[in-house]
Amino acid sequence: MASASVDAALHTDPNIIATISIEVSYDGGSTWTHVASATQPGSLNNLPLDVSGPLFQPSNTKRQLRALLDVEGGSFATLLGGTVEET
């Protein structure tokens, strides 16, 4: 399982839309596959923007993960964190 989270405490403008995505590559980064994503507009009561999804091929030494944060309509200060858990 791969998880990523964005601190949305300063994401207060409803005109700003944040989308976080997780992608995986099984071929060393040549191609990427979408795993999961979540989108959230800003508000005064924002919870963290979280996303998680399944991972496959745990023994594949070429497997890579990336988390992407897309912000539309403005900007805000944030932190992006992530975890990977093999099951």
pLDDT in tens, the chain (87 residues): 999 998 888 888 999 999 999 999 999 999 999 999 999 999 877 778 899 998 899 899 999 999 999 999 999 888 888 888 876
CA atoms of 56 and 49, how far apart (whole Å): 24
Spatial contact of 45 and 69, defined as CB atoms under 8 Å apart:
no
Q: What is the pTM of this model?
A: 0.84
**Residue 30 · residue 64 · CB < 8 Å:** no
Q: 42 near 12, Cβ under 8 Å? A: yes
